[in-house]
Structure 1
């Protein structure tokens, strides 16, 4: 969420030089990536529409103030399309043929099959023109054009430099602590896939607080006993969803 909140506009702005404020933006998916994307674009003044398959995520999007509907209902009204689902064929050739002239198409979710670029390449009567590196105008047989960023691949990497270093520091710290845990306590982990233990997750966060000037409140022994957690954590059950 926090990485894409930074790297999505970081890619759109230099790629297109388009003012995001006032634009109608469609975000496909409201998982962690979609939430960060929608928040970033809303912060730039866009009118954000979200699509979802999951009723819980759809409810979250609606409660966060976003219109939630299908792409088919709004495809001709949208200025910028952003896919963040991790699925395939989220934007089809049929969708792209229905887009307004010079609609911007961007993917931050998955490989280049999230947007059907292969289908677009096979479509008779199309012409692909490089505007600048990683920005292509596709002239469609409808007489309209769309702008596709990073060939339909991850545009926050193709049109920008990806997530900022602070976000990556959290990710890499996770990996290092996981490796240390496996080395020191390997006998506790038979072959399998594991979620990082909660106390290590909290340690990763603690290690990054000073850089942000964060000061934690400390539980008293009485308070810790009252809610049934150790004073120094972990503070949540393993299945807690932050």
Structure 2
């Protein structure tokens, strides 16, 4: 479903004339439909960690505290998926992202050691202790890109700029989001449409991606399942 068909479906639900074109239109209502679509897409990216937006980032360490900007490491970087940064060379995790007070405490009292920490400050990735150059670091993050401008089924932009462009987000949610946002900016009643939208977001987010089994006795302290032999326990 393209930007054009999203706006056409939203217009039909609202009860206005469906546009033949969006980005080239000078009609105020069509311009507002496009603005609502972009606003909805950006809001969804911030609202939930949709699995379609999760990517793996990679970085080769530099022998300095600052490893460069996050956008130079991953151009579509939105935010970290917590507890996913590991040094694949040393097989050790990085703890973070640390807060400002945690980071300053670490700098003051920890001069070295085998425990790694990281912080994001001013868009820069900071590491402590200073890593050895050339080590491989991997992590997962949420991409800020949700629009496919090239037709390759992969998001490469953070806003619509053409009628034929599509989104990797759930299209029904984008349409419902456009509907209530359009009604709101027009000063029309939108509460019922907003409640329907909220309910559908909850449903989709609840089904999105794989979900872990909840254990009544509490989770394992280990990240992975316990490693035990298949048999011969008495041997």
- TM-score with structure 1 setting the length: 0.29
- TM-score with structure 2 setting the length: 0.30
For CA contacts below 8 A with separation 6 or more, give which structure has more relative contact order. Answer: 2
Higher helix share: 1
Instruction: Look at both structures and tell me which one has the larger radius of gyration over its CA atoms.
Output: 2
